[in-house]
C-alpha cells in the first residue's frame, strides 16, 4: 500500500483532457516538499514529466501540467494522443517516514 494514493487507471479519447490525482497527507504533500511526476512507457525507465509541482523539463510538451493544493496534487494532460498511453507515477518526500515515496501508479489508456 502506497503512502501516496493514485487511481489505478484513467482513460480518455484522443484530443480529450484527463487528470490523474495523487493524494497524500500532512507529512508529505501537505508540507514544503514538492511533488514530481514521471511517465513510464512499457519496458522503459521512468521519465521525468513534471518537477517541483508544476515545472516541465525541457522537451516535455506543454500539454502536460501539474498542480498541488493542500495534501493533493494533480497531473493534467490535454489534447490526449495515442503515445501518451503509459503508466504515470507521483513522487514526493515524507517527513515522518524520512523517506522518498512514490504513488501506486496510474495506467492511462487512450481509447
Partner 1 sequence: QVQLVQSGAEVKTPGASVKVSCKASGYTFTSYVIHWVRQAPGQRLEWMGWIDAGNGDTKYSQRFQGRVTIARDTSASTVYMDLSSLRSEDTAVYYCARANGGYYHALNYWGQGTLVTVSS
Query: Contact positions toward partner 1, by CB under 8 A?
Result: 2, 33-34, 36, 38, 40, 45-48, 51-52, 57, 89, 91-93, 97-105
Q: How far apart are CA 6 and CA 73, in angstroms?
A: 10
- Which residue number, 12 or 46, has a Cβ lying nearer to partner 1? 46
Compute the least distance from the CB of residue 92 to partner 1, in Å: 8
Say if strands 64-69 and 99-102 run parallel, antiparallel, or are unpaired.
unpaired
Compute the least distance from the CB of residue 111 to partner 1, in Å: 22
Q: What percentage of the chain's residues is helix, strand, coil (to nearest 5)? A: 5, 50, 50
- Which residue number, 72 or 103, has a Cβ lying nearer to partner 1? 103
- Which residue number, 74 or 93, has a Cβ lying nearer to partner 1? 93
Residue carrying the nine cell digits 512499457: 42
The three cell numbers locating residue 76: 493534467
Amino acid at each position: 500500500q502506497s503512502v501516496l494514493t493514485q487511481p489505478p487507471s484513467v482513460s480518455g479519447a484522443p484530443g480529450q483532457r484527463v487528470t490523474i490525482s495523487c493524494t497524500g497527507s500532512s507529512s508529505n504533500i501537505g508540507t514544503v516538499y514538492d511533488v514530481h511526476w514521471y511517465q513510464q512507457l512499457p519496458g522503459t525507465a521512468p521519465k521525468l514529466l513534471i518537477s517541483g509541482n508544476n515545472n516541465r523539463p525541457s522537451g516535455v510538451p506543454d500539454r502536460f501540467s501539474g498542480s498541488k493544493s493542500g495534501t493533493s496534487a494533480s497531473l493534467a494532460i490535454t489534447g490526449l494522443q495515442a503515445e501518451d498511453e503509459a503508466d504515470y507515477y507521483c513522487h514526493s518526500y515524507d517527513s515522518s517516514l524520512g523517506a522518498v515515496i512514490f504513488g501506486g501508479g496510474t495506467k492511462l489508456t487512450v481509447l
